[in-house]
Structure 1
Amino acid sequence: MAGADLTGRYKGWMIRVKREDRSLRRGLFAKYVAALVGLVVFVLAVNGAIEIWINYHATRTTLTDSLGERAEAAAGRIEQSIAELERQISWVTRASAVKIEDHRNDYAQLLNQVPAVEQLMLLDGYGREKLRLSRTSVAVGSNADFSRDVRYTETRGKSVAYAPATFRNAARPAMSISVSHSGFNADITVADIDLHFLTEFLGDAQTGRSSFAYVIDPQGRVLARSSRGPETGKSLADLPQVAAALKKDNARTDFGTDAEGGSVLTAARAMPKLGWHVFFEQPAAHALVPIRDQLTRAALLIALGLVVAILAGSMLARRMLVPITALRRGADQLGEGDFGHRIEVKTGDELEELAGQFNRMAGQLQETYAGLETKVQERTRDLAQSMNELSLAHSTVQQQAEKLRDQTEQLKDWNKSLEDRVEKQLAEIERIRKLERFLAPQVAQLIASSDGHDSILDSHRREVTVVFCDLRGFTAFTESTEPEEAMNVLREYHAALGELTFKYEGTLDRYAGDGVMILFNAPIQFADHTRRAVQMAVEMRDAMDALTTRWRNRGHSLGFGVGIALGYATIGQIGFEHRLEYSAIGSVTNLASRLCDEAKANQIVVSRRVYGIVEPWVEGRPIDDLQLKGFNHPVLAAEILSWREGAEVAPPRTSAETAVVAAKEAS
């Protein structure tokens, strides 16, 4: 029964193979033909594209080189003609012509010999007109003032000057050539030139049958043109090739547009002495006619190749379908259960080898079918055993899943604990960041790590020592030096003061340009805060002495002054939520600032109360009573000269001591 069921399954499989084979046969012919046609068309298309690309570049290079050579020749002839005009104009500036009559005769002779010259003017050394001569009029001694005329001003600094081209009307461009006579404060001859003669260099003989040419001035206006060129006087500055030439872009520009917007092949040559450019251009539609013809020939060749490929593909596909049909019929016989059927294919290629493999497979199927029933029974027993093993494996998987759920709950608890720890550490970092704005980093970290630290920054009243220091001559320095150098000086200055502020554990209140305010005894209390402040100021003065010497070598005259006062002030945070500062408010801060204002370069001025506290450790002297702004009565003050040799140095508080003080203040 099992064997009959297996035979039925095999026949069903063979029926599906048969249907798929018929579908494959219906499309196989088209696939072979399409593959061959596609290959032929691809080869022809690539070959045609490469040949067209090579011919296109060769044609474009040949045409642009030819246009460039003609532009070069035309530019050379124009420059030569302008040089000849300059030489002929220079002849009338000969030194032997002294009288006005001599100049008039020379000018008349030049007008007769050179048709391009329309008018000649003689200007004296001060720009006054002495003589004007044209073919229709003459004026002597008019004394017209040309001292501001560009034709006069440009010629005073050199012997020859070319004035920019002008247009008397839309089609008559002109220019002036000014030549200076010899001698001190010499006369100047100004010749007005009609530029219509430039068209002689752009005739059809020079441009060719399909090309055109034109000359432009530095503003892009057309000075001369060939018969097919743009209108004289028209501005072509917006054309890409003209814009590139006017910008003196050295990149080669082979393509451009004409005045009507059509594409053209272009070549330009510059005349640096005049600032002009000569353009020779040819419409791209006419220049690339050979390329269009070649495209047509390539399309015809591809069409012919397509027809040949279809015919050849059809023949090859039909020859391949005969053995494939034989294989299909053999598969049908196997599908019907005829395992003794064999296929005969004699093509001498892979199809014959495939037929042999098919026959060997049929023989193996015939042998296998005989013992298939026994193997099916054996496989059935194996399957039952596998089901029992699978049941045991399922029980094991359930136990492991239960264990995994328990571990997942435990992991959730660990994750919650980790989140709490991370949140606490982030809060700690934020507290340190806020405190580091005012205190030394080590003090800020110790305060932040203690409990109740936020209360340290709350507003409260306390006795503090206030240190004010700034630079003498800094305002004048900033007005006379570059901002970058002023910033460099401030960086060096702030770095020197900041290092000593952290050393003595002072609280940096603010930077205000060159002014610095430092608090002692807030927010951390020190028993010797006044002594620390004075000792820090002495070290700052010593450090600034070396720094001002270095500045003096760089040409900066700056001095350093310090003012110190002791008294009660209100301490705490000021500002708003997004911008908070820790500061002190009270008369003691004003007193320290005024004492700093009174201090001269390298001088430390302290209140008499501060001097009385540190007198055992310093060398100093009293100062006459000071009349300070904002104070009604004279203020007693003293000057700190130096820290006594051998005097006990106030050591910075250790980390442990600072932590104890912070904890006490927080509580």
Structure 2
Amino acid sequence: MTLSLHPDTSQGPAVAGASVSGMAAGSAQTRIRSRLFTKYVALFVAVVAIALLSNGIFEVIFYYREHKAALIRIQQEQAEAAAAKISQFIKEIESQLGWTTQLPWSAASLENRRFDALRLLRQVPAITELAQIDSTGHERLRVSRLAMDVVDSGLDLSQDPKFTEAVAHKVYYGPVYFRRESEPYMTLALAGTRKDAGVSIAEVNLKLIWDVVSQIKVGEHGHAYVIGARGRLIAHPDISLVLRNTDMSKLPQVMMAEANGGVIPQSLENAKNIQGQEVLTAAAPILPLRWTMFVELPVEEAYASLYAALQRLTIVLLAASIFAVLAGIFLARRMVGPIQALRAGAERIGGGDFAQRIAIKTGDELEGLANQFNDMGARLQESYADLENKVESRTAELSESLQQQTATSEVLQVISTSPGQLEPVFRIMLENATRICQAEFGSLFLRDGDKFRISAMHGVQSAVK
């Protein structure tokens, strides 16, 4: 028996490959990207802003302390220098006055003493009047620039503080007074080393103190002034305050200086002046007068450079913040871009597109991770291709086996229904063989001696057509 089969020219459709189901990059992706991008920008700006702000705050704090300490130190040096100059002025007068109390009254005539007194007035212009008192407290001589000289007046000064204090303490500093409401004066009495030397009383013009105070320059609006033992103003650039005998004892810095020996502690370097203006204050004692030299500078002027530094810091912070935002946007894009490419590639690979390759050239861990994804995709592609081949081969085997079983079943069914008849059996065998071989038509020949004769045909007529 011969079976002739003619395969169909158009084969069945090939097994379709895995469809790419890549996940849509919708609103969720946009939100994630936006959050990541915003987070990077905000983080970069925050880091830069915090660093600059912290540095600026520390700089301002330290600059404030150093600037304030420097100002106080300068004012303190000015106050001490002025106080030393005034003290030296008084000590020089004491030294010159001491020569008039060296000899007892019995050792020199009144004329000689008068000559010495006039010479003293020429040598020390600050002394405007000199009176010499004997050991009993009676005035023996008075020489003056402003009045007539008086010789041996006999004026009893034995109970006067000028005499008693000088005898008890060797020196007496009287209160400051104003002669004709023009210039300040002070009485200076000095007792001799010998009991019978008496006491010399000098009226001292303190105009030099005004000159010293007026020469002290502290910034543009700062000034210096001198306070007496009772808190009264002795010297000030505003002479009207001095002439009004202004009481400064209620000012905190004056009270603190009197309580601390003419020195102001750092806790009260900020105070208010007589006009109610807040000032930086430094003080120094004027020895041995128990006066105090004050040097003050308005806080607004003292901290002007600090305020300018704060303005510059604010401008720098604003400029740095703008730069940080721009740099953060640039860097965030550089950082988020590879991450988004990696994420999109991973989604496509996860969706079945194993041919997808992620191209990231950052030279860091992200590039290494992308290479690992590419290797994984290549391995998955190979595995998926092998699996498809195996499935296709197995499916073909199962299909062929099923068709053979179906053909056998149909042949057996025909045999059972048509016993003794071969044509139906041959016909069904030819139909199944044609179907299994996917042929258009077929012929079944039986050998009869040396010849073949057709026993069954399938699809021959359609083929002929």
Q: For this structure pair, what is the TM-score category when the shorter chain's length is used for normalisation?
A: 0.5 to 0.7
Task: State the one-letter code of the partner of 2:331.
Answer: L
Task: State the one-letter code of the partner of 1:37.
Answer: V
Q: Determine whether 1:162 maps to 2:162.
A: no
Q: Structure 1's 152 and 97: CA in aligned 2 closer, same or farther, altered over 3 A?
A: closer
Q: Distance in 1 between matches of 2:365 and 2:38?
A: 21
Q: Which SS does the other structure have where 2:246 is aligned?
A: coil
Aligned to 1:242: 254
Q: Determine whether 1:184 maps to 2:195.
A: yes
Displacement of 1:312 after TM fit?
A: 1.7
Aligned to 1:277: 292
Aligned residue among 217, 237, 258 for 1:207: 217
Q: Distance in 2 between matches of 1:288 and 1:229?
A: 29
Aligned residue among 108, 127, 134 for 1:117: 127
Task: State the one-letter code of the partner of 1:193.
Answer: V
Task: State the one-letter code of the partner of 1:26.
Answer: S
CA RMSD of aligned residues (A): 4.4
Displacement of 1:195 after TM fit?
A: 1.4
Task: State the one-letter code of the partner of 2:255.
Answer: A
Q: Determine whether 1:197 maps to 2:222.
A: no
TM-score, normalisation: structure 1: 0.43
Q: Which SS does the other structure have where 1:260 is aligned?
A: coil
- Whether the aligned pair in 2 keeps the contact of 1:323 and 1:345 (CA below 8 Å) is no
- Structure 2 unaligned segments of length 5 or more: list them: 1-22, 385-465
Q: Determine whether 1:38 maps to 2:46.
A: yes
Aligned residue among 87, 91, 95 for 1:79: 87
- Whether the aligned pair in 2 keeps the contact of 1:195 and 1:223 (CA below 8 Å) is no
Deviations 1:82-119 (CA, angstroms, capped at 9, x unpaired)? 12211232233342655556555554554455442233
Task: State the one-letter code of the partner of 2:79.
Answer: A
Deviations 1:438-473 (CA, angstroms, capped at 9, x unpaired)? xxxxxxxxxxxxxxxxxxxxxxxxxxxxxxxxxxxx
Q: Which SS does the other structure have where 2:43 is aligned?
A: helix
Q: Which SS does the other structure have where 1:136 is aligned?
A: coil
Aligned residue among 179, 184, 187 for 1:173: 184
Q: Determine whether 1:47 maps to 2:55.
A: yes
Displacement of 1:23 after TM fit?
A: 3.8
Q: Distance in 2 between matches of 1:100 and 1:278?
A: 40
Deviations 1:187-209 (CA, angstroms, capped at 9, x unpaired)? 322222221221232343x5366
Deviations 1:216-261 (CA, angstroms, capped at 9, x unpaired)? 2223333223479975643333444433332225745755444333
Q: Structure 1's 30 and 338: CA in aligned 2 closer, same or farther, altered over 3 A?
A: closer
Displacement of 1:145 after TM fit?
A: 5.0
Task: State the one-letter code of the partner of 1:305.
Answer: A
Aligned to 1:91: 99
- Whether the aligned pair in 2 keeps the contact of 1:18 and 1:331 (CA below 8 Å) is no
Task: State the one-letter code of the partner of 1:90.
Answer: G
Displacement of 1:57 after TM fit?
A: 4.7
Deviations 1:273-313 (CA, angstroms, capped at 9, x unpaired)? 22123233444443444434433333333222222222221
Q: Which SS does the other structure have where 2:325 is aligned?
A: helix
- Whether the aligned pair in 1 keeps the contact of 2:278 and 2:299 (CA below 8 Å) is yes
Q: Which SS does the other structure have where 2:274 is aligned?
A: coil
Q: Distance in 2 between matches of 1:102 and 1:172?
A: 31
Q: Distance in 2 between matches of 1:76 and 1:145?
A: 33
Listed as ranges, the matches of 1:210-289 within 5 Å are 210=220, 211-226=222-237, 231=242, 233-246=245-258, 247-248=260-261, 249=263, 251-252=265-266, 255-289=270-304
- Whether the aligned pair in 1 keeps the contact of 2:171 and 2:189 (CA below 8 Å) is yes
Displacement of 1:41 after TM fit?
A: 2.2
Listed as ranges, the matches of 1:101-112 within 5 Å are 103-104=113-114, 106-111=116-121
Q: Distance in 2 between matches of 1:189 and 1:230?
A: 32
Q: Distance in 1 between matches of 2:117 and 2:343?
A: 109
Deviations 1:121-166 (CA, angstroms, capped at 9, x unpaired)? 444445455555542255654644551x332232222322223434
Listed as ranges, the matches of 1:546-557 within 5 Å are none
Displacement of 1:68 after TM fit?
A: 3.6
Listed as ranges, the matches of 1:159-558 within 5 Å are 159-167=170-178, 172-181=183-192, 183-184=194-195, 187-204=198-215, 206-207=216-217, 210=220, 211-226=222-237, 231=242, 233-246=245-258, 247-248=260-261, 249=263, 251-252=265-266, 255-325=270-340, 344-347=357-360, 349=364
TM-score, normalisation: structure 2: 0.59
- Whether the aligned pair in 2 keeps the contact of 1:117 and 1:194 (CA below 8 Å) is yes
Q: Distance in 2 between matches of 1:105 and 1:142?
A: 19
Q: Distance in 2 between matches of 1:91 and 1:41?
A: 74
- Whether the aligned pair in 1 keeps the contact of 2:139 and 2:156 (CA below 8 Å) is yes
- Structure 1 unaligned segments of length 5 or more: list them: 1-13, 368-667
Aligned to 2:8: none
Q: Structure 1's 310 and 108: CA in aligned 2 closer, same or farther, altered over 3 A?
A: same
Aligned to 1:521: none
Q: Which SS does the other structure have where 1:197 is aligned?
A: helix
Q: Structure 1's 44 and 137: CA in aligned 2 closer, same or farther, altered over 3 A?
A: same
Identity score, percent: 31
Q: Distance in 2 between matches of 1:359 and 1:256?
A: 77
Q: Structure 1's 56 and 229: CA in aligned 2 closer, same or farther, altered over 3 A?
A: farther
- Whether the aligned pair in 2 keeps the contact of 1:345 and 1:351 (CA below 8 Å) is no
Listed as ranges, the matches of 1:146-161 within 5 Å are 146-147=158-159, 149-161=160-172
Q: Distance in 1 between matches of 2:336 and 2:356?
A: 15
Deviations 1:10-42 (CA, angstroms, capped at 9, x unpaired)? xxxx99x98766544333322221211222222
